Structure 1
Amino acid sequence: MKSLLRSNTFKILTRFIIYFLLVSFLIRAGLLLISLPKIDLSFLGVVKIFLTGAMFDFGVALFFSIPYTVYLLLLPTKWSNSLFNKIVTYSGFFLVILITMFSFFAEITFWDEFQSRFNFIAVDYLVYTYEVIHNINESYPLPLLIGGMIILSMLVVYIFIKRSYFKESFNGDLGFGKKALMFLVTISISLVYIFSVNNSFAESGKNRFADELSKAGIYSFFAAFKNNELNFDKFYRLIDNQEAFKIVRNELADSNTTFVDTENSIRRHIQSNGTELHPNVIMITIESFSAGFMSHYGNRENITPVMDSLWEHSLRFNNLYATGTRTVRGMEALTLSVPPTPGNSIVRRPRNGHLSTVGSIFKSKGYETHFFYGGDGYFDNMNQYFGSNGYSVTDRGRNLTSWDNFDAPRYIIPDSAVQFENAWGICDEDLYKAVERGADSSYSQSKPFYFFVMTTSNHRPYTYPPGRIDIPSGSGRKGAVRYTDYAIGKFLQDISKKPWFQNTIVILVADHCASSAGKDVIDVAKYHIPAMVVNSGIAPLSIDKLCSQIDIYPTLFSLLHWSYESNIYGKDVLSPGYQERAFLGTYQTLGYLKRDSLVLLAPQQNVDSYLYDYNTNQQKEYKPSPALIQEAIANYQTAYFLYKNGGLKSNI
């Protein structure tokens, strides 16, 4: 085998593997240096990162090498020095080097955004090429980037030429048998990687940053592609299904609740004795808005003066947590009021129509339900999800082909109504004007309305109309947060003059935090988001209880004295019997936080538990009661069961 590796025939292949391992080492070292303040590592920990990383890098290098080994196998030895072989080899090698250069750059930018190697988010982004390419173009100098990648690739080719690797390869004289042996070895090792080297091998540590650095970007990408949806029944620890539903039903039960079904269901009737109120409701779901942006939570940059002012005069949730780290996960929580299911959000899954949504509860009270989005709702399957659950849609759409399947109308925001637009959509001011027009239309027809509004301005490339704030557009997240806050203030000021305003509640809540990555698999502080109910007519109230996005609407419905059929997991936080808890998840790890106890459910039936310190954001391993672990499993297990078996369908 040594003679094969040293032979001229495989000179380019072996040197390419060395090149790939070397550059991957440098990328990993660079990311490690960037992340050092967030990692507490020993020397052995650093060694483990690089050794594990080299193992994954070698696998990726082999995958890249397979086409070339096939080509050499089929190339007659007498053609080794032919013009044909030189053209194919030079052009093919340059193309592969260019691809690797772009993948390395993509890894760096992805790490900057998500503090992670490629995961299922990167897989999703491949589907929505328009938004992603335009986002890259607006965030980075694309001509310089492409030019730089080409120059670097040409430099690598030049080095290979100067070191005579091509010349030696063209003089290779190995016969078919030896080339076949190399092909078999390459394929055999690659198959071992595919079937035996799981990406989760790098996730055995206690520091999430160290685990991510141990991975290889391309390897992680294909692992995410393979595991984009996880079957809870196959990958997670289970308890008896009837026992699971019994636990959840006991949690949801109170004196105002009557369950409709006897088992394997949470469908129930909630009775209120007060006089029902039916105000209009506009929920503004703010893109990537962490609690830490607000002065109430310690920020001293004064970038959210509007939100800070509203906070003191509203019904506010001080200790509320997002269920996930992506917009579609926030949408899932705010529309379905369920714990996050492993893998993709239900928003992006099949069979997600005609569900028991918050919107269906509003519809049962005679409301119009409407979804507003500043970008193209084709992205992340938003239009399909909202349209198949009875919402009308207003977006800045291009894709119109699939709307015939839905009864609710769809409206496209025209060019004439847009003053500023970037890769992700129109600016928040333009979106709010569309919301105003929608509210005016509903009011003119004497129809109460419920609007779900999804903003986009607080998203890379962080650009917005000039002259609004004193931070230049495109300068970074700080400016985007400040503009987002400004646009909310302008919207509230504009609608305060409307005849429908006095009977309209405005809910302000984030979809998720700006950054969810921390040293722990689930960094609890990175799920903490602001939520407030404005113009409710209710005296300002601070709710300090630990709660989740899924609890906002059950709490609001209670304050409005609504009697309704519920098929949701959220609870009235103000109820005397409310037990504090929150659901926090990645696409694989499912967290259940109850007071200071954090239970994490993960594939391979793994269950970990920690004591969480809210002051220091530290997690300390401990052994909780079996009842708490069962409680965590029961909530996630039953939510998954109901979705997969049609139990989340609406009866309305």
Structure 2
Amino acid sequence: MVRAIKQGTTSFIPVALFVVSSLLMLSLFRFGYFILYTERVIEAINPIEFFLLGIRADLIQIGYYTLVPLLLFPFCNFRKTHQLWLKFSVLWFSACFALLFFMEISTPAFLAQYDTRPNRLFFEYLLYPKEVFSTLWNGFRGWLILGVTASGLVIYTVYTFSKSMHKRLAQRTTHHGMAWLLLPVVLVFTVLGIRSTLAHRPANPAFFAVSSDAMVNSLILNSNYTLAYAVYNLKHEDKANRVYGQLTDAEVIATITAEDHLKSADFPFKNYPTVHFQAASNKREKPLNIVIILEESLGATFVESLGGLPVTPNIERLKNQGWWFENLYATGTRSVRGIEAVVSGFLPSRARSTVKLSDSQRYFFTIADALKRQGYTTEFIYGGESHFDNMAAFFTGNGFSNIIDQDEFSNPVFEGSWGVSDQDLLTMLHARLIEQQGSSQPSFTLAFTSSNHEPFEFPDNQIALSEHPKQTVNNAVKYADHALGQFFDRAMQSDYWQNTLFLVVADHDTRVYGNDLVPIQKFHIPGLILGGDISPRVIDTVTSQIDLTPTLLSLAGVSAYVPTLGQDLSNPETPPANRAMMQFGDSYGWLQGNQLTVLTTDGKQHQFTYQRDSKELLPSHQSLADKQIKRIQAFAMAPSVLYQSHAYYVPVTH
């Protein structure tokens, strides 16, 4: 009997070896992450619980890989086919082990950049190998070489071991009957490992979210799992934010359109429930040209008057000549999220930005579309390749008539991994504005900078470096500010200055990280509206990126139908809403004054008080009324409601 059991277990030796070796390897990597982030881990969770939960999470991913050969086993547990199954299982587990290792060796660089394990961004950026490889080579060269070398060695070792293992297993006698009896036991343990709980629903990433530090929560998992879960979630993107509440679509729409600045508006289109007519606060005979300069990763971190570093003297100088936003907050942490908020006024969500989603490539509102209907020429200028992040497709499908990207720049002063320098970009912008000045049509231009993007490449001898070596974020920001200052010095001396309205705003801050559910200080960004007849003013109330489009249209003298939910801050009849919303991973933040409410995917609401001077987020015991919670949930759910119903658009009849 003992001999039969021993012979029966022969079939499952590859399974046992894979499970044990994978658990050991993943645990060693997790120990390495623990060493790298000891303070944050200890502050967030008991280390023993950290490692035990990690093993539990690893068993989920290992179980999925193990399940494939086990489900094939009943079809192969016969004398003539058993060797074929053994060969397949050894090769399968070897490939899975190599993949587990590759993802883990890739993780430290991703953690350093994004403060989380590999997620959707990991495979999205694989679509842009030129930019990604340049960034890795210039910014993470040592780790790239180490990762490729280590992965190669592991693949070779695993391949050699798998050949030897298959040869040894082929020489062993197998008891097929006993293997049939052992299979249900192995399958049960595998399924239990995958579910990781006896509760009604199996475990998911939220199950392991045991602290308020999202990065630590991600370390409990493994990178194969976080990446696979991101891929799985793609099919749920159109309803990604419905997890934050139980409101009906009608309740969501009724709540978000009842805001003070919208309650008196008329919403005439049943199928486009947020579309309303916004009358411009500034009445003009001829509307102003509008220029948006979207600054890559230039957060409040780098603006001294906003509590940051003294590396943006030109922004400090220019802020006294227009509307300066002291408490402006980005909606997200990626460029496409900033584009979505600034250009479309769309609310943030857990899904990919609408710049990338399939159902928003046409018939989706942008300020360009609104202005094009008013007779404006519309243009996008970018120093890199405009196909990156799907920008070209989104823009051309939604109101932009002309796109200028890297191929259009002849003899640029400098070209880096992400395209031409900011000076080249803004020189092109200046030339285009001069050219358009002679036209009878007003113009709208979006210019998107890129010099302040890792690996932080910019021309030599343009600035006095803040630090050494040259290619650091502080030096890149200082260069971006230098290029911006040069542009405005020329613009103010040009004929187009008096009839052009400029918005300078960051898409997001750089490297958004922190051990809070939503690290508010890393969402704080500078914003400035100047030009034309704009008088200096300080906007000190909490403002969101979604408020910029309505305000720009109004200041430029453009009255139009819009679906936007942001506030026209130039309207004197409505007090500022004093709120901002932001998405950080799976957490949705709503900042009202200095009170932050965070909604999480488990249906809970978390309250904090934000201390702006110290940039600390402190737990708050202040409870919100049901009406206020419903308001926050409605805004959190609105992106999914509007996207799913194809409702964020102004019908062409208007």
TM category, shorter: 0.7 to 0.9
For residue 30 of structure 2, the aligned residue among 13, 18, 28 is 28
Matches within 5 A, 1:110-125: 110-125=110-125
CA-CA distance at 1:7 after TM superposition: 5.5
For residue 453 of structure 1, the aligned residue among 441, 447, 450 is 447
Letter in 1 for 2:460: P
Q: Deviations over 1:189-233 (max 9, x none)?
A: 555527823122112433323312211111011111111315158
Contact 1:27 1:104 in 2 (8 A): yes
Q: Partners of 1:483 and 1:179 in 2: how far apart?
A: 68
| Structure 1 residues 466 and 590, CA gap change in structure 2 (3 angstroms) | same
| Structure 1 residues 233 and 426, CA gap change in structure 2 (3 angstroms) | closer
The yes-or-no answer on 1:529 pairing with 2:525 is: yes
For residue 290 of structure 1, the aligned residue among 290, 299, 302 is 299
Contact 1:270 1:566 in 2 (8 A): yes
137-146 vs 502-511, which deviates more? 137-146
TM-score under structure 2 length normalisation: 0.85
Contact 2:8 2:178 in 1 (8 A): no
Letter in 2 for 1:59: I
Letter in 1 for 2:290: V
| Structure 1 residues 258 and 81, CA gap change in structure 2 (3 angstroms) | closer
Seq. identity, %? 24
The yes-or-no answer on 1:588 pairing with 2:583 is: no
Matches within 5 A, 1:593-608: 593-608=591-606
| Structure 1 residues 93 and 479, CA gap change in structure 2 (3 angstroms) | farther
The yes-or-no answer on 1:226 pairing with 2:227 is: no
565-574 vs 232-241, which deviates more? 232-241
Task: Describe the SS at the equivalent of 2:51.
Answer: helix
Task: Describe the SS at the equivalent of 1:542.
Answer: strand
Corresponding residue for 1:513?
509
RMSD of aligned C-alpha atoms?
Answer: 3.7
CA-CA distance at 1:450 after TM superposition: 1.1
Q: Is there any run of 5+ residues in structure 2 with no aligned partner, and where? A: 196-200
| Structure 1 residues 89 and 342, CA gap change in structure 2 (3 angstroms) | closer
TM-score under structure 1 length normalisation: 0.85
Q: Deviations over 1:124-155 (max 9, x none)?
A: 22343443334323333355642343235556
Matches within 5 A, 1:431-510: 431-471=425-465, 475-510=471-506
Task: Describe the SS at the equivalent of 1:231.
Answer: helix
| Structure 1 residues 137 and 270, CA gap change in structure 2 (3 angstroms) | same
Task: Describe the SS at the equivalent of 1:500.
Answer: helix
Q: Partners of 1:151 and 1:589 in 2: how far apart?
A: 39
For residue 555 of structure 1, the aligned residue among 512, 537, 551 is 551
Q: Deviations over 1:150-183 (max 9, x none)?
A: 235556778x69xx96775454333445556676
Corresponding residue for 1:146?
148
The yes-or-no answer on 1:202 pairing with 2:208 is: yes
Matches within 5 A, 1:572-587: 572-574=568-570, 575=572, 576-587=574-585
Task: Describe the SS at the equivalent of 1:18.
Answer: helix
| Structure 1 residues 149 and 505, CA gap change in structure 2 (3 angstroms) | same
For residue 371 of structure 2, the aligned residue among 356, 362, 370 is 362
CA-CA distance at 1:386 after TM superposition: 0.8
The yes-or-no answer on 1:420 pairing with 2:403 is: no
Contact 1:366 1:448 in 2 (8 A): yes
Q: Partners of 2:209 and 2:633 in 1: how far apart?
A: 21
Q: Partners of 2:506 and 2:13 in 1: how far apart?
A: 54
Q: How many residues are matched?
A: 631
CA-CA distance at 1:440 after TM superposition: 3.6
Q: Partners of 1:427 and 1:274 in 2: how far apart?
A: 36
Contact 1:260 1:269 in 2 (8 A): no
CA-CA distance at 1:497 after TM superposition: 4.9
Contact 1:237 1:606 in 2 (8 A): no
Matches within 5 A, 1:607-626: 607-616=605-614, 617-622=616-621, 623-626=623-626
277-286 vs 212-221, which deviates more? 277-286
Q: Partners of 1:246 and 1:91 in 2: how far apart?
A: 57
Task: Describe the SS at the equivalent of 1:269.
Answer: strand
CA-CA distance at 1:550 after TM superposition: 0.8
Q: Partners of 1:200 and 1:181 in 2: how far apart?
A: 36
The yes-or-no answer on 1:566 pairing with 2:565 is: no
Task: Describe the SS at the equivalent of 1:447.
Answer: coil
Q: Partners of 2:508 and 2:5 in 1: how far apart?
A: 56
For residue 215 of structure 1, the aligned residue among 221, 231, 235 is 221
Corresponding residue for 2:198?
none
CA-CA distance at 1:584 after TM superposition: 0.8
The yes-or-no answer on 1:101 pairing with 2:101 is: yes
Q: Partners of 1:6 and 1:135 in 2: how far apart?
A: 52
| Structure 1 residues 611 and 334, CA gap change in structure 2 (3 angstroms) | same
Letter in 2 for 1:340: P
Q: Partners of 2:639 and 2:376 in 1: how far apart?
A: 27
The yes-or-no answer on 1:392 pairing with 2:401 is: yes
For residue 279 of structure 2, the aligned residue among 266, 271, 285 is 271
453-462 vs 176-185, which deviates more? 176-185
